[in-house]
Structure 1
Amino acid sequence: MACETYKKIASRRGRISRAKKLYSIYIQPQSPREINIDSSTRDAIIKNIQEPTQTCFEEAQKIVYMHMEMDSYPRFLKSEMYQNLLKTVQSQSS
């Protein structure tokens, strides 16, 4: 969601400010919400952060979506919490 909001920023100054904020929250090692991306993607973002384009976080966004699709979402579907919710919904609709 942060990347989609970032892509809509039209001004250069706003994009630079937001890019630095996204870096400090999600990309920087040991950041509060550090995402799981490879070092080459991280290095490309670091390189482009001084003059960020609207697409400079796109590769990181793709990686996060891939992790969600291949790992997080399947684990969620198998989780006890989701299974209990599913049973509750199914029993209410019967």
Structure 2
Amino acid sequence: MCKGLSAIPSSCLEKAKGMRVKLSHLAEKQDWVHKHRANEEKLPQDLESLLNSKLGVQAFRWFLRSEFSEENLEFWLACEEYKNSSGSKLAGKAQSIYNQFINPEAPREVNLDSETREGLTGLMQEPRADTFDEAQHRIFSLMAKDSFPRFQRSLRVL
């Protein structure tokens, strides 16, 4: 009699689940590359161009998700949205970004140096539209030097 999945060790099931997630992200990314090429669009050569493209952001997000490292992109996007917020909503949005990405115990903590992190902590009392500019710039630089080149290499493989 077949015992089904209950006979498979849980560690194997977890690995299989992880592989399924990575394969689904790869398939989505491959679809994006084919659509991009079908429309005879040039693949983005720099991170700024990629971030100005809705499809580019989506593909980059899929790639980062497959590497379990999408928090930098999500932080950068949250900062862009924050800059376009009205004055009355700035404090609440600033606190939300801080709690989600900056706080040392944040669930999606981004990799910032202690000086930038401490500077942000001080600005949280009276946040302005440019509160996260320096941190956003540092995360952009980190993505441009690290994850974006890996993303480009992954596109060449497809």
Q: Give the TM-score range, shorter chain.
A: 0.7 to 0.9
Please give the secondary structure, in 1, of the residue aligned with 2:111: coil
Task: Name stretches of at least 5 consecutive residues in structure 2 with no aligned partner.
Answer: 1-76
From 33, 47, 50, the equivalent of 2:108 is: 33
What amino acid sits opposite 1:63 in the alignment?
R
- CA-CA distance at 1:68 after TM superposition: 0.8
Task: Name stretches of at least 5 consecutive residues in structure 1 with no aligned partner.
Answer: 86-94
Cα distance in 2 for residues equivalent to 1:11 and 1:55: 12
Cα distance in 2 for residues equivalent to 1:30 and 1:72: 23
From 112, 126, 139, the equivalent of 1:51 is: 126
**Counterpart in the other structure of 1:11:** 87
2:95 aligned with 1:20: yes
- CA-CA distance at 1:18 after TM superposition: 0.7
- CA-CA distance at 1:83 after TM superposition: 3.3
- CA-CA distance at 1:62 after TM superposition: 0.3
Cα distance in 2 for residues equivalent to 1:78 and 1:11: 41
**Counterpart in the other structure of 2:156:** 83
* Structure-1-length-normalised TM-score: 0.79
- CA-CA distance at 1:7 after TM superposition: 0.8
**Counterpart in the other structure of 2:5:** none
Compare CA radii of gyration and give the structure with the larger one.
2
What amino acid sits opposite 1:47 in the alignment?
G
**Counterpart in the other structure of 1:70:** 145
Cα distance in 2 for residues equivalent to 1:35 and 1:4: 16
Please give the root-mean-square deviation of Cα atoms over the aligned residues, in Å: 1.2
- CA-CA distance at 1:9 after TM superposition: 1.7
Count of aligned positions: 82
Cα distance in 2 for residues equivalent to 1:10 and 1:67: 28
* Structure-2-length-normalised TM-score: 0.49
